């Protein structure tokens, strides 16, 4: 009787595990849960505001008086609301730039808002931005410069504990942060408590700054990356990704999941300057950045700079509002909705009455990153075809992999059925979290995805078709 019960229990357990056991195994490095949420954020802004705003500098020297910080109408809610209308889903505040001025009442230095006339020395700008982000439904993050041109301790053994204390304050007092930004600038001339000298550090031992990728992502961008210095491949390099072998593109079989974050200011500079209104990027330019960042599997980090009143100025708002409107219009209607999806190969599974295959082709149409079409292990060459309800006109294609299972596809093409034959519309190597293609307008009722090579069976979660707003096609 005991043996019979144990056997039945074992069989029941195996049966319960069978459907999950049919899922493809992850391939290579995969993102953490936090990184998955980061990928889903896609667009966010880096806010530069501080003493540099009042001195008309990009990099403060560290000797500037906190008395300069006296915004007349500072409103974090106005800034965050403008970002939300502009399509941003997160905001990262520069809590301390290289000049060492802290936008929160830190216990580590007098060089902070506590020494400024703003709010009678009782203000906390980090708190105001954290609260505004929460109110408007944006994720919140912080930037804290490792380089501190004000601190007398910088470049000495006394500085790391001081900097760690600043991070501890920021990480424990302002709620959950979706990202913490560490700048690569790491030494040079400065005030340094009155020493007025140049200080350098051993960047390989003093602190480690993980590379983030500047500007557009590479044409083929892999989120997997093994940091290898150009001068010493056995060790990671510090500074931006250009100091790494294949830094801008990542490595196809990299050891870690380190995706591209493409940061770029809305204006010429990161901080606000009174003569830079003519340099504000146009909505069309911002859309181009979007396609080359989010559309290459990374995230778009747009620098926005409040003016001396502590507000986003009108020129910036006009551009943000228009860009956000274009994004909403572009993705308002997926022209692939209602299509019939079919594939030449679908992963086998233990069928259950009334349930659809968890790997069915039409999973690519449900706008869910976690559901996907998959083939059997060993099948790395497959085709998925969408037959649309009617002829549709489109010029944007969106593809996504289920990145919980890693980068899998190595080569693919997208074809359009025209005049009785298939015509290639787009092709590439990496798909990742999101791959966007813009092309000429085409009309068709059939499109297909050809996976021509893959390191493991493909797991495609999205195949969408869209039409660019008219303002971007004129």
- Write the DSSP assignment of 199-215 as a string of letters: E---TTTS-------BS
Per-residue confidence (pLDDT) for residue 69, from 0 to 100? 98
Match 């572009």 to its residue by tokens.
Answer: 330
Distance CA 246, CA 260 (A): 12
CA-CA-CA-CA dihedral for 439, 443, 446, 447, to nearest 10: 0
Tens-binned pLDDT, residue by residue, of the chain (474 aa): 344 434 343 434 444 444 443 899 999 999 999 999 999 999 999 999 999 999 999 999 999 999 999 999 999 999 999 999 999 999 999 999 999 999 999 999 999 999 999 999 999 999 999 999 999 999 999 999 999 999 999 999 999 999 999 999 999 999 999 999 988 777 777 777 766 777 665 544 333 333 444 457 888 999 998 877 666 666 655 555 555 556 667 889 888 898 989 999 999 999 999 999 999 999 999 999 999 999 999 999 999 999 999 999 999 999 999 999 999 999 999 999 999 999 999 999 887 887 889 999 999 999 999 999 999 999 999 999 999 999 999 999 999 999 999 999 999 999 999 999 999 999 999 999 999 999 999 999 999 999 999 999 999 999 999 999 998 887
For the chain, residues classed under CATH 2.60.120.260 are 340-472
For domain 340-472, is the CATH number 2.60.120.260? yes
pLDDT the model gives residue 418: 95
Among 263, 206, 270, smallest CA distance to 238 is for 206
Identify the pLDDT of residue 354.
76
How far apart CA 405 and CA 399 sit, in angstroms, is 15
Q: Which architecture, in CATH terms, is 33-330? A: Alpha-Beta Barrel (3.20)
Residue 207: predicted pLDDT: 31
Task: Spell out the residues 6+ positions from residue 394 whose beta carbon is closer than 8 angstroms to its own.
Answer: 335, 441, 442, 465, 466, 467
- For 236-301, the DSSP string reads PPPSSGGGBTTTTT--TT-SEE---EEEEESSSSSS--TT-GGGPPPHHHHHHHHHTTTTBTSEEE
At residue 211, the pLDDT reads 40
Task: Tell me 121's DSSP state.
Answer: G
Helix (H, G, I), strand (E, B) or coil at 425: strand
Residues of the chain with CATH 3.20.20.80: 33-330
């Amino acid at each position: 009787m005991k043996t019979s019960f144990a056997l039945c229990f074992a069989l029941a357990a195996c049966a319960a595990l069978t459907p999950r056991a049919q899922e493809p195994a992850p391939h290579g490095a995969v993102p953490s849960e936090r990184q998955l949420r980061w990928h889903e954020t896609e667009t966010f802004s880096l806010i530069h505001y501080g003493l540099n705003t009042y001195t008309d500098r990009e990099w403060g020297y560290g000797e500037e008086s906190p008395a300069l910080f006296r915004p007349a109408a500072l409103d974090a809610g106005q800034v965050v609301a403008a970002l939300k209308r502009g399509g941003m889903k997160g905001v990262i505040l520069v809590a301390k730039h290289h000049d060492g001025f802290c936008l929160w009442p830190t216990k580590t230095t007098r060089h902070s808002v506590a020494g400024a006339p703003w709010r009678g020395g009782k203000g906390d700008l980090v708190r105001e931005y954290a609260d505004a982000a929460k109110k408007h439904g944006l994720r919140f993050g912080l930037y804290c410069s490792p380089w501190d041109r004000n601190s007398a301790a910088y470049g000495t053994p006394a500085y790391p504990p001081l900097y760690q204390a600043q991070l501890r304050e920021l990480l424990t007092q302002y709620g959950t942060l979706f990202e913490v930004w560490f700048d690569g600038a790491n030494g040079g001339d400065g005030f340094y408590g009155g020493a007025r000298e140049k200080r350098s550090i051993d960047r390989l031992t003093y602190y480690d700054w993980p590379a983030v990728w500047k500007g557009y992502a590479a044409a083929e961008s892999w989120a997997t990356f093994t940091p290898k210095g150009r001068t010493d491949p056995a060790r990671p390099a510090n500074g931006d990704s250009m100091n790494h072998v294949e830094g801008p593109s990542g490595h196809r079989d990299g050891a870690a999941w380190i995706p591209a974050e493409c940061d770029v200011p809305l204006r010429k500079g990161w901080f606000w300057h009174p003569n830079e209104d003519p340099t504000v990027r146009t909505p069309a330019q911002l859309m181009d950045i979007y396609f080359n960042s989010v559309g290459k599997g990374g995230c778009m980090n747009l620098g926005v700079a409040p003016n001396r009143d502590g507000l986003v100025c009108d020129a910036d708002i006009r551009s943000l509002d228009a860009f956000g409107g274009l994004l909403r219009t572009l993705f308002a209607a997926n022209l692939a909705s209602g299509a019939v999806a079919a594939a030449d190969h679908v992963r086998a599974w233990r069928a259950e009455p009334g349930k659809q295959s968890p790997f069915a082709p039409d999973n690519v149409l449900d706008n869910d990153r976690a559901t996907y079409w998959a083939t059997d292990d060993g099948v790395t060459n497959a085709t998925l075809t969408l037959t649309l309800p009617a002829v549709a006109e489109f010029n944007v294609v969106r593809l996504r992999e289920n990145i919980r299972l890693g980068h899998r596809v190595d080569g693919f093409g997208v074809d359009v059925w025209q005049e009785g034959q298939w015509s290639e519309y787009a092709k590439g190597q990496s798909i990742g979290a999101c791959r966007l293609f813009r092309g000429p307008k085409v009309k068709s009722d059939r499109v297909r995805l050809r996976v021509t090579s893959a390191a493991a069976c493909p797991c495609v979660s999205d195949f969408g078709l869209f039409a660019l707003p008219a303002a971007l096609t004129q």
